[in-house]
Every structure is written in C-alpha cells, then in structure tokens.
C-alpha cells in the first residue's frame, strides 16, 4: 500500500478523498470503484450535514421569532431549549402514518422525499471555502435554478396526490407563485454571472474583489425577495396559508412525511441565505483567506447566518401578502426592474474601464440612478391613481348620494 499523502491543512476535503481512494485500492478495490465510493461518502457527509444543521436552524428560528414577538421561545428541553427540536422529531416519529382515501399512493409518498432532495442538491455547488466545496461545475447557477424546479414539482405532486381540495388549491397557488417568481430570480441571477463572466459558484466568489452587493444592489435585493418567495414562507406563505386553505399542499401529511416538508422548508431558507452570501456577499472571501483557506468557512457561515437572520426577521415582522398583490408585485414591479437591472449592468460594465474600483463605482452609481428612477416612477403612478380616485370622489359628491355610490364603485 502506498503511504498516505501528508495531511493538507489547506484543502482537507481533497486530502480525505485521496486518502480514502488509497486505502481502498490498498485492500484490492478497483480504482474506478474506489473513486465512486469516495464520492458517495462525500455526498453522504454533505447531506447528513445539511439535515443535522436543520435541527439547530429550527431552534434558532423559533427562538428568534419568539423574541421578535415578545415571547421566550422554547426553553424547557435542554440548555436554552436546544434539545426541543429533537423532542419534536421523536414526537413526529410516533405519529400515525396516514394515507388518505383515494390518494395516489406512489406520488403521495414520493413528494416529501423530492422536496428534501431538491434542497439538499443545491449544497453540492455551494463553496464553503476556496478549497472546500462539493463540485465547481461551470453551470452552477443554472443548476441551482433547475434543482429549484424539482422543488416546485414536489409541492405540486403533494397537492395533487392528496385527493383533497385544499391541498389542490395549495398546488395551484404553487404554480402561480413559484413559477412566476422564478422569472425575476433568474434575471437577477444573470447579473452576478455577467459580472463574474462565469456560472460556476466558486468562480463567482473568486471574482468578488468588491462584493457584488455593491456592484449590483438592486439585483441582490430582487434575488433575496424572490428566493424568499421560492421558499414559500411568510410573507409569501400562500401555499400553506393556515387561515385560508388550512395547511395547503401538506394538509394530509402526518408524522415523518410532514416532517420532511418541514425540514425541507427550513433547510431551504438556510440555503437561500447561503446562496445570497455566495453570490452577493463574497462567499468565503475575507481577510487572510489567501494564507489560511479554511478561514473562509468561518466567513461563509457568518455571512450566511446574517442573511438567515434577515429571513427570520422578515418572517417575524411581515403579514402575509394577498394573492393578487403578490402576483402584481412580481409581474408589474420585480420583472421589469430586474430586466432593467440586467440591461444597465451589461451596458455599464462594457463601457467602464477594467480597473476594479472604477468599475465598482460606475456600477454602483448606475444602480443608484436606476433605483431613483424606479422610485420616481412608483411615486408618479401612485400620485396619478390618487388624483383619479379623488376626482371620482368629488364627482360623486356633486352627483348626489345615489349616483355617487355607483360612480365610486365604478372607480374601483
């Protein structure tokens, strides 16, 4: 057996991969198979990491939302209530597993699985540090979008196969919400791709000598809003709006199958935070990462935790948006603004000299101007609407009470 290579502190993952391959070929496993086993082990480690961290995330979220709502949050099981999620998981284990009458059994059971898998798959392309990542495929950004489509599919499958009208309504809302919000999200994702001249996640991080949130604040904000809508949590939780359609697409799910949707949602919220950190906040970039690449993991998680805090903060402070407002906001506001952001970024980026700081300054200025124009258009539209309404109200006053009511109704 050849000796193991010396432990490489800077890239522990590739060292572990090499070590496993050497160990396995030493005991007579063919080289192809050994490589496949090493890859499989990596996948298992990454997936288990994702699912384990969810236990902590659920605790953190409940604690934070508790504080936001002037409550204490979980504080009975374990120190600071840390073990509450484990107790809840055990409770879910013991629940009866119900399959509703008339359900499409195979589809019904596949949906929760697909929902978790679609989120876990995203972690394959997120770089934790310059040397610690699952894979740096050159189509990373499109891969993220494609995997997100599988999540949409899972929710539609769940809603349809449950044989329940509320679940089906939830699935319809999915189609309206998730597919619509994909449009501005993809457009916003185009901006970092344009700036980095690559779709690979690690290349995008490497390109961020200046964080892209400075170069493209509008695209960053749009990405953050739309990906929150993709997760489907407050203020965009129309898929499972308790007060309207009971629990939406997962109304019929019990026990661990419900748990999988639950875990999938929390992990998805953390995943979009990680994506925002990677694409717009410089990912693993920070002081001294050139000397000690592993330090990037710390920076990455600090940035992700901050983004996750904002997600929870929004969830804790915003009421649910109405469905027509949700769609109007997407199609009449986010989509045109993201289109404009892509065009402005492309033109300004091409016109400015390649020096990093002039480019950053010009792009930032362009974004500020674009933002001002957007706000000005919004204000003008709102003013025109207000004038119209006031005009019709005054007409109503002159026309007398009976006709006035009619004119008023007509104005709306």
Cβ distance to another protein smaller for residue 171 or 342: 171
Residue with tokens 């050849």: 2
Three-state DSSP class for 76?
coil
Cβ distance to another protein smaller for residue 51 or 137: 137
Q: How far is CA 333 from the centre of its chain?
A: 20
Cβ distance to another protein smaller for residue 102 or 410: 102
Torsion of CA 83, 84, 87, 93, to 10 degrees: -120
Contact set with another protein (CB under 8 A)? 32-33, 36, 102, 104, 107, 137-139, 142-143, 145-150, 152-153, 156-157, 160, 163, 168, 171-172, 175, 179, 182, 199
Among 86, 90, 91, 68, smallest CA distance to 76 is for 86
Residue with tokens 């649910």: 320
Q: How far is the CB of 48 from another protein (least distance, A)?
A: 24
Q: How far is the CB of 146 from another protein (least distance, A)?
A: 4
Q: How far is the CB of 322 from another protein (least distance, A)?
A: 20
CA 93/CA 322 separation, integer angstroms: 35
Report which secondary-structure segment, H or E, holds 127: strand 127-129
Cβ distance to another protein smaller for residue 147 or 342: 147
Cβ distance to another protein smaller for residue 107 or 295: 107
Judged by phi (left if over 0) then psi (alpha if -120 to 50, else beta), residue 70 lies in: left
Q: How far is the CB of 141 from another protein (least distance, A)?
A: 9
Q: How far is the CB of 214 from another protein (least distance, A)?
A: 26
Cβ distance to another protein smaller for residue 262 or 329: 329
Q: How far is the CB of 402 from another protein (least distance, A)?
A: 26
In SS3 terms, 132-171 reads as EECCCCCCHHHHHHHHHHHHHHHHHHHHHHCCCHHHHHHH
CA 340/CA 349 separation, integer angstroms: 14
């Amino acid at each position: 057996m050849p000796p193991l290579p010396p432990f490489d502190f800077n890239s522990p993952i590739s060292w572990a991969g090499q070590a496993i391959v050497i160990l396995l070929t030493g005991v007579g496993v063919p080289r192809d198979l050994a490589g496949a086993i090493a890859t499989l082990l990596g996948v298992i480690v990454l997936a288990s990491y994702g699912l384990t961290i969810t236990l902590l995330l659920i605790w953190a979220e409940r604690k934070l939302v508790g504080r936001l709502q002037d409550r204490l949050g979980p504080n009975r099981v374990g120190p600071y209530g840390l073990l509450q999620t484990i107790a809840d998981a055990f409770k879910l284990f013991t629940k009866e597993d119900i399959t509703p009458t008339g359900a499409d059994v195979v589809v019904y059971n596949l949906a929760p699985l697909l929902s978790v898998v679609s989120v876990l798959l995203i972690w394959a392309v997120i770089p934790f540090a310059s040397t610690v990542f699952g894979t740096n495929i050159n189509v990373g950004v499109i891969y993220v979008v494609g995997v997100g489509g599988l999540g949409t599919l899972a929710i539609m499958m769940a809603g349809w196969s449950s044989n329940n009208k509320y679940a089906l309504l939830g699935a319809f809302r999915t189609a309206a919400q998730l597919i619509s919000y994909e449009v501005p999200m993809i457009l916003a994702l185009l901006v970092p791709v344009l700036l980095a001249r690559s779709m690979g996640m690690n290349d995008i991080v490497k390109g961020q000598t200046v964080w892209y949130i400075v170069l493209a604040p509008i695209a960053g904000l749009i990405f953050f809003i739309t990906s929150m809508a993709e997760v489907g949590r407050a203020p965009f939780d129309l898929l499972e709006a308790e007060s309207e359609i009971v629990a939406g697409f997962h109304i019929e799910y019990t026990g661990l199958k419900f748990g999988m949707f639950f875990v999938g949602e929390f992990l998805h919220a953390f995943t979009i935070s990680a994506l925002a950190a990677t694409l717009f906040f410089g990912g693993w970039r920070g002081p001294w990462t050139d000397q000690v690449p592993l330090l990037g993991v710390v920076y990455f998680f600090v940035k992700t935790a901050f983004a996750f805090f904002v997600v929870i903060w929004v969830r804790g402070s915003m009421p649910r948006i109405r469905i027509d407002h949700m769609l109007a906001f997407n199609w009449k506001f986010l989509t045109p603004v993201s289109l404009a952001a892509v065009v402005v970024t492309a033109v300004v980026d091409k016109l400015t000299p390649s020096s990093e700081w002039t480019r950053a300054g010009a792009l930032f200025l362009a974004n500020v101007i674009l933002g001002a124009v957007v706000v000005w258009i919004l204000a003008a539209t709102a003013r025109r609407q207000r004038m119209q309404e006031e005009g019709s109200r005054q007409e109503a006053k002159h026309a007398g009470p009976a006709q006035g009511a009619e004119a008023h109704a007509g104005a709306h």
